């Protein structure tokens, strides 16, 4: 598995949360800003590399999972830029 590069453009998916919509994210292109490589997991382990991106605050992403879905995300999001997309609607206790 190749390693990410700071400044690299990558697609991330949309994330929607019923119980905490303030954490919702609109998927699209994003720029790698931070790379966290595990000191405890073996190289190549599915959770050994996590990244953060400039466009979305407060989220980390599994590098291996993102890599596996890049073609799908590219087709889905095109040139759309990823961003936080909070929903503060009250769903009555969900």
Q: How wide is the angle at C-alpha 27 spanned by C-alphas 21 and 31, nearest 5°?
A: 120
- Quick one: pLDDT at residue 92? 63
The residue whose two tokens read 């190549």 is 44
Residue extents of the structural domains in the chain: 9-84
Instruction: Give the angle 53-59-65 at the CA atoms, nearest 5°.
Output: 75
pLDDT value at residue 44:
77
Distance, CA of 4 to CA of 67 (rounded, Å): 10
* Residues 26 and 80 sit within 8 Å (Cβ to Cβ): yes
Q: Which pTM value belongs to this model?
A: 0.87
Distance CA 47, CA 24 (A): 22
In the chain, which residues have pLDDT < 50?
Answer: none
Query: What element of type H or E holds 75?
Result: helix 70-77
Task: Name residue, tokens 């999001």.
Answer: 77
């Amino acid at each position: 598995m190749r390693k990410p590069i700071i400044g690299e453009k990558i697609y991330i998916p949309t994330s929607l949360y019923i119980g905490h919509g303030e954490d919702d994210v609109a998927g699209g292109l994003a720029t790698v800003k931070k790379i966290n490589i595990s000191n405890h997991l073996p190289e190549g382990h599915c959770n050994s590399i996590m990244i953060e991106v400039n466009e979305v605050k407060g989220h980390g992403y599994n590098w291996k999972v993102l890599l596996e879905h890049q073609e799908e995300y590219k087709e889905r999001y095109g040139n759309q830029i990823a961003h936080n997309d909070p929903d503060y609607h009250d769903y009555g206790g969900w």
